[in-house]
Chains A and B, each alone.
Chain A
Amino acid sequence: AQKVTQAQTEISVVEKEDVTLDCVYETRDTTYYLFWYKQPPSGELVFLIRRNSFDEQNEISGRYSWNFQKSTSSFNFTITASQVVDSAVYFCALSEGGFQKLVFGTGTRLLVSP
């Protein structure tokens, strides 16, 4: 069975601090996809990144970076020099190969104060 664990319920940081959001997943498939979504206070879900199980390269997009480690079944998300606009709930999700279903973690609420 697939499962995604986001152990951090809420994180508070001060602007310009770096912050890492943890994501640990469980799956029996060798082919799967991992995602991160952002949910700002307005409520919509904003797609951030998709990573397939065969690509372990880390990725950087501006202030955002992702560290995918199959050995520890983790797909962590780091925001560098956080900003108030980064305040949101962040969800990690998993999709196994061939299934049109996302299994979500419970989310991490990030609060960035000025």
Chain B
Amino acid sequence: EAQVTQNPRYLITVTGKKLTVTCSQNMNHEYMSWYRQDPGLGLRQIYYSMNVEVTDKGDVPEGYKVSRKEKRNFPLILESPSPNQTSLYFCASSSSGTDSYEQYFGPGTRLTVT
């Protein structure tokens, strides 16, 4: 089954404690992205990756890091989380083929930083 998986699905942590949210897709997609969803703001892109070792900032990259060492994985790293990073995070992937403008979303990770 084609899917994007994220782990963990729920995470409560404290300010300053480094964490990683993993994202993996099994569709051999080139493009992967991270979004955060906040009330009243919709979803905003954090980082995206065009392919292995190619990443770039989205609209709200401050406080986040990403890496793309393998095509299927695109982890989101918060090296020193702060309460304003409490949010619902979605990973997405898409291909460079004819359906490249449809993004497949993971189930979401709800992060709370206290």
Question: How big is the B interface, by class?
Answer: 20 to 34
- A104-B42 contact given A33-B101, A50-B102, CB 8 Å threshold: yes
**8 A Cβ contacts from A34-87 to B:** 35, 37, 43-45, 47, 50, 52
B26 at the interface (CB under 8 A from A): no
Residues of B within 8 A of A37 (CB): 105
Q: Contact: B42 with A107, CB < 8 Å?
A: yes
Q: Contact: A43 with B42, CB < 8 Å?
A: no
Q: What residue in chain B is nearest A100 (Cβ atoms)?
A: B31
Residues of A within 8 A of B50 (CB): 100
Could you say which of A4, A37, A43 has the most chain B C-beta atoms within 10 Å of its C-beta? Answer: A43
Cα separation A102 to B101 with both chains bound (whole Å): 9
Cα separation A93 to B50 with both chains bound (whole Å): 20
Could you say which of A93, A100, A102 has the most chain B C-beta atoms within 10 Å of its C-beta? Answer: A100
Cα separation A45 to B102 with both chains bound (whole Å): 12
Cα separation A109 to B39 with both chains bound (whole Å): 11
> Which positions in A face B, CB cutoff 8 Å?
4, 33, 35, 37, 43-45, 47, 50, 52, 91, 93, 95, 100-107
Q: Can you offer 15 A-B residue contacts whose CB atoms are under 8 A?
A: A4-B42, A35-B102, A44-B105, A44-B108, A47-B102, A47-B104, A52-B101, A91-B42, A100-B48, A100-B94, A100-B100, A101-B45, A103-B45, A104-B35, A107-B42
